[in-house]
Every structure is written in C-alpha cells, then in structure tokens.
Structure 1
Amino acid sequence: MERESVVGVIAVRDAARDRTQIAIWLLSCCALVLGIVIIGGLTRLTGSGLSMVEWKPIVGLLPPLDEAQWLATFELYRQSPEYRYVNIGMTVEGFKSIFWLEYIHRMIGRFIGIAFFVPFLYFWIRGKIEKGLLPKLVAMFVLGGMQGALGWYMVASGLAEDPHVSQYRLTAHLGLAIVIYVYMLWVALGLLWRSRSGDDTDGRPLLGWAVACTALAFCTVLSGGFVAGLKAGFAYNTFPLMGGQWIPDGIFALQPGWRNFFENFITAQFTHRILAISLLAGILALWRALGRRRLAPATRVATHAMLLLIVLQVALGISTLVLHVPLALASAHQAVAVLVLTSLVVVTHRLLHVQGRSLA
C-alpha cells in the first residue's frame, strides 16, 4: 500500500511537470505569434507586403543569393500592379529594401510552424499530452496552417489590377492570428493554474463584465484592421473632433449602409474611436469594481496591468493619429493592442478558474 502511494505521488508530480512544460512551450509560441503580428504590421506600414509575388511554402526558403537571382525576382515584381501603379521606376536596390521585411515575415511564419510541430511531436511520442489536450493542440496546428494560406489569399488580393490588399482579407488575417494567440494563451493558463485554490471567488460576479470587455477588445482590434486596410489613419488627424465635428459628414455615404463600416475610411476611423473609448470606459469600470473585491495577488497584478495597458494604448492611438502615423508609434499601437487583450484574457481566466477546476 505504501509503495502504491509513493507511485501515485510520483505520477501526480510528473503529470504536473509535464503540464508546466507544455504551458511554457505554448506561451513561447504566443510570444512568437505576437512577434509576427508586429512584423506583419511593419510590412504593411512600409509598403513591403506585396514585394514577393509568389507563394512557395516549401521550396521558397532561400532569398535571392546573387545579382542574377535578384534581377529575376525583381522582374517578377515589375509585372505586378504595385510596381506599375505605385512604385514605377523603382530600382533593384529599392526593391531589396521592401523585399527583406516581407521575406523575414514569411520566414518567421515558417519558424512558428516548426516551433509548434517539433515540440508537439516530442510531447506526444513521450506520452506527456493528456487525452483531453490532444485535440486542442491539433486544432492549433490546423489553425496555423489556415493562417498561412489566408496570408497568401490576402496578398493575392493586391496582385490583381488594384495594387491594394483587400481590407476584408487583411482583417481576417489579423483576426485569425489573434484567435490563435488567445487560444494558445487560454490553454497554457489552464495548464499552469489547474491546481490553484479559489482565491478569486469574490470576483466571480464580475466575470460577465470581464468577458464583455475581452470581446470588445477583440472587436476593437478587428476595427483597427479595417482602419489599416483603408489607410483611414492618414485622414482626420485631430482628436477628439474629426474635421471639426463630433460626427463627421460622409459616414453613411455608401449604400447599402452596412458597407460604410467596412469600406468607408471615415466610418472606419469613427467606429474605431468609439470602440476604443468604450473599451477604456469598460476596463476602468471593471478595474474599479475588482479593486473592491478580495483577489489573489496574481489577479490583482493582472487587473492593474489591464488598466495601465489600456491607458497606454489610447495614448498611443491618439499620438499615432495626430502625428500622421509615424512608423514606431503605429507599430507600438498594434503590439500594445495584443497586450491589452492578453491582460483581459488573464483576468477573465483567473475569475473563471476558481476552486482548482481545470479549464485547459
């Protein structure tokens, strides 16, 4: 009996260690996804996203290695509408400056696939993946493959006669990246906190508000995708008014009316402002309400981080707008958007994950 007890203790300890290892791996993948979101934003901001006009996911690993290869690659680009209508007269040297960022973007995407698949095989072969966790990890891998295909589908929209990426496809590409990020984060948190006590039970009544703020943050990110796709940040560079008005003219210029939210740059920016300010108000209210509750120290830290990040994000958004979208601020604005969502996911998970229940 004593030997069986010892074996049971060892098994529990090993299972906890395996969960921790898998959680760290998933959090590392989250960091990589955040990195590629930032790089993807930079490719858009620098006009680099359409520089590679072919999609070769398996054989397209090496960049041009000599002058002849550079000339051949540049010749392909010269046949694209972006060259003919936007970058006419660009030299090979100028082409290299936009090629490298998009190349790095694609290579990081491939690296993320490897960084996920190889450890997954290791954990699976070693029997470290619990039965209920396996389908979730497989779903993550499938979503990653879909994201790669969606990325090319997005780029292809800018290789037709109109040398601009579809704002619908761009936002879908961004949205799926965020879904993958949040899914991996949620599963990792469930693995890390499976055995913790219910210190946040007092905050449980605010769970619905936390979920609502998280959903609003996701919608705000998607709204930012349409702002980016329509280049709406380069217009109405004042705050809080737009062209001297609280509600600018032309927000319902397109018919049917729903198109304005996705195709009218005025409406896209106006909607993004409304969503962002609403999110700020919602998070402030959640922070104040949670401040009156008895919470675990980690949850308390997450709530403070949530408030600080949304204040920083709003400041970055306003600064990016009034300064006419400088590269550094615009990139930081996109990165902090993901961090705001991260803090909300953590708070939501902490409020839901009480009394040692597993939510992985």
Structure 2
Amino acid sequence: MITDIEKGAAVRGTAATDGRKAVITWLTVVTVLVFAMIVLGGVTRLTNSGLSMTEWKPITGWLPPLDEAAWVAEFERYKTFPEYQKINKGMSLDAFKRIYAFEYAHRVLGRVIGLAFFVPFVVLLLLRKIPKSMAPRLALLFLLGAAQGGMGWFMVKSGLVDHPDVSHYRLTAHLGLASLIFAALLWTIFDLVERNRPPAAPAPDRLRRASYFLLALIALQILVGGFVAGLSAGFIYTDWPMMGGTFIPDDFLSLQPWFHNFLENPSTIQFTHRMLGYAILIAGIWFFLISRGADVDRRLRNGALVLLALILLQVILGILTLLYVVPVSLGAKHQGGGMLVLAAALYVLHRIRAASPAKAAGQPRG
C-alpha cells in the first residue's frame, strides 16, 4: 500500500524532473542562439561589415534607419570614419545598406539572446524550477553575456580611430569570451542531464588526461583562429600543404624580437593555426583509439567517434577555406565547425568526469 509520504515524494520527484526539463530546454535554446551569434560574427567579419555601425546604443539601438533621410544621415556619419575614407571611398548607399545589415543583425541577435536568457531565468527562478546550487552560475553567465556586449563595442572602437580594422587582440578576446559563454552553457546543460542518471564505469586515467589535453589544444586553436581572422592571415598563403612553395614560410621569423611573430606576423600565425590543426587531428585519433581500447560506457565511445568525425570535417573545411581564398560560406562553416568540435570535446570530458568510481561498481552501463 502506498503511503501519503510516498505519494508526496513521488509528486516532488516528478515536479523536480519537469523543472529540470524546462531549464534544459531553455538553456538549449539560448545555446543555439549563441552558436548562431558566433557564426554570424564570422560572417560579419568576412563581409567587412563590422565597422558599418559607428555608434553603440545598447537600449535604443533596436531599430535601423526607417526612411531614406535616416539612411542618408547614417551613411554620411559612416563617411567620416577611416574605413570609408581609406577603403570604401565612393561606395553607394545601397552597398552601405548591405554591409550595415550584417552588423545590425549581429547586434540585434545579441539583444535577443540577452532577453532569451534573462526573462526565462527570472520566471523559472520565481517558480523554483532552477536548482538553488545552479542559480549563482546562471547569474554569472548573464553577467558574462552583458560583458560580451561591452567587449564587442570595445573591439569595434579600435577600428574607428586611424586604422580601418579592429584590433586582432580585441577580436580574439571577443571570440574567446563568446566561446567561454557557449562552453559554460553546454557544461550546465550536461550537468542537468546527468542528474539522477546512473553513473558509468570510471574511465582510465590516460583517457581523462587525453581529454584535458585535447580540450586545451582546441581552446588554444580557437584563440589562434581569432588572430588569423583579426590579421586576415588566411589570405596570406592559399596553397596547401605548402605555404608559398615551402612547408615553413620564408618570413616565419621576420619580426624582431622573435616572439612578436606569434603575435603580429600573419604568416607565422597562419602556420601556427595549421600546425595546431594537425596536432588536434593526431590527438583526436589518439583519444579515439584509447576510448576503443578502454572499458568505458557507450555514450563516451559514441562521443569519441563524433568528436573525431567533427575534427576531420573541420580540417577539411579549413583546407578548402584556404584553397578557395576564404569565401564567406566556407569561412562561416569553418567557424561554426570550430564550435561543434569544442562542444564534442566538452561532452566527452563531462562524460569522463561524471563517472564516479565509488558508485560505478555494479551499475549498468549507459
């Protein structure tokens, strides 16, 4: 016979499960929007649209120019800045509208993400659907999102002064913070999904170490990719596997002191990006082989396979992007592919960390 206490516990358990599903759905939607934002940011960069909006209006910047007079006024303002004067002099109003559209969409999507996070966060918090232990983390994520908006304008400002291009350091910081937010959202979703799930068999230490090493390489590659984008280093050498007919470009260490080449020399940075790509591919194969030879659960095995497949696809996209001289379509896919590789690496690491040696004994495999 089921007691009232047991019935109450069952109801509370069902409510907790429903609340967790609601939070997972909400965070998944936000994560997809952040992914789209990162890809759109790459498109904005590749179409040279990022400096078309020369003001930052966080509250009142929802609407674009609404009539021809407003468009003319916006275009006249753009003409007073270095990008028009040094690169786009003589541009038509219609051409200006086209580049403006990408930057406008990028900024509006940022505001949409802010609302998509903040409003459900408050509602779910009031309804007590969010686990108490997770509320501070989610609040920090919102603050990081707000900081990302400020970082974006800080980046744009660097291209509105003398040189009509944004600082590659600020661009990399902008990309790095976006990637961190994307990764933190995914990790939070994985935490919620894993709650109350039977623990898997613990993974071998070498697999754990390999997962950390692979994730570190991927994170470094994303930052180097920011340098590549900021310095337009992808346009320097467009042959493969060589660079200007040699494996190591002739101007690899042309700057002094030598370490400046890894910060300022487009050729060195493209070479570094290529080498890291190869290193990630080798590490991905190594991780996959270790996972196949270890006694691990099915989800981790499948995650390792997906991770390797995404790495291979990303390498192919990178090569094609070079050979076709960085077209917008391939460049955007390459940036999106980088985020998918990051997501897969986070998943396998989370699966490894979720395995509890103390609880795994006697538990069925997932």
TM-score normalised by length of structure 2: 0.95
Q: Map Cα deviations across residues 193-232 of structure 1 (whole Å, 9 max, x no partner).
A: 1122222424564112101101110110111110111111
Shift of 1:296: 2.8
Are 2:336 and 1:335 equivalent residues in the alignment?
A: yes
Q: Map Cα deviations across residues 166-217 of structure 1 (whole Å, 9 max, x no partner).
A: 0000010000000000001001100011122222424564112101101110
**8 Å CA contact 1:320, 1:329 repeated in 2:** yes
1:281 equivalent in structure 2 = 282
**8 Å CA contact 1:36, 1:108 repeated in 2:** yes
**8 Å CA contact 1:204, 1:352 repeated in 2:** no
Give 1:278-357 correspondences, 5 Å limit.
278-355=279-356
**8 Å CA contact 1:43, 1:102 repeated in 2:** yes
- Secondary structure, counterpart of 1:129 in structure 2: coil
User: Any unmatched runs of 5+ in structure 2?
Assistant: 360-366
**8 Å CA contact 2:215, 2:345 repeated in 1:** yes
> Aligned letter for 2:290?
A
1:237 equivalent in structure 2 = 238
**8 Å CA contact 2:243, 2:249 repeated in 1:** yes
Q: Report the CA distance shift for 1:338/1:231 in structure 2 as closer, same or farther (over 3 A).
A: same
CA distance in 2, matches of 1:76, 1:356: 63
**8 Å CA contact 2:201, 2:357 repeated in 1:** no
CA distance in 2, matches of 1:202, 1:217: 21
Are 2:120 and 1:112 equivalent residues in the alignment?
A: no
Q: Report the CA distance shift for 1:204/1:323 in structure 2 as closer, same or farther (over 3 A).
A: same
> Aligned letter for 1:257?
W
CA distance in 1, matches of 2:169, 2:226: 8
- Secondary structure, counterpart of 2:190 in structure 1: helix
1:249 equivalent in structure 2 = 250
CA distance in 2, matches of 1:145, 1:286: 36
CA distance in 1, matches of 2:246, 2:133: 54
Q: Map Cα deviations across residues 282-330 of structure 1 (whole Å, 9 max, x no partner).
A: 0110001101223333222221110110000000101111111111111
Shift of 1:16: 2.3
2:270 equivalent in structure 1 = 269
Q: Percent identity?
A: 43
Count residues with an aligned counterpart.
Answer: 358
1:121 equivalent in structure 2 = 122
2:132 equivalent in structure 1 = 131
2:70 equivalent in structure 1 = 69
In the TM superposition, structure 1's runs of 4+ consecutive aligned residues that sit over 3 Å from their partners are 202-205, 355-358
- Secondary structure, counterpart of 1:340 in structure 2: helix
CA distance in 2, matches of 1:242, 1:67: 48
CA distance in 2, matches of 1:252, 1:167: 19
2:186 equivalent in structure 1 = 185
User: Any unmatched runs of 5+ in structure 1?
Assistant: none
CA distance in 1, matches of 2:22, 2:355: 22
Moved more, 171-180 or 300-309: 300-309
1:55 equivalent in structure 2 = 56
2:34 equivalent in structure 1 = 33
**8 Å CA contact 1:197, 1:356 repeated in 2:** no
> Aligned letter for 1:216?
L
CA distance in 2, matches of 1:133, 1:72: 47
CA distance in 2, matches of 1:19, 1:234: 46
2:364 equivalent in structure 1 = none
TM-score normalised by length of structure 1: 0.96
CA distance in 1, matches of 2:357, 2:159: 50
- Secondary structure, counterpart of 1:201 in structure 2: coil
Give 1:186-205 correspondences, 5 Å limit.
186-203=187-204, 205=206
Q: CA RMSD in A?
A: 1.6
Are 2:138 and 1:163 equivalent residues in the alignment?
A: no
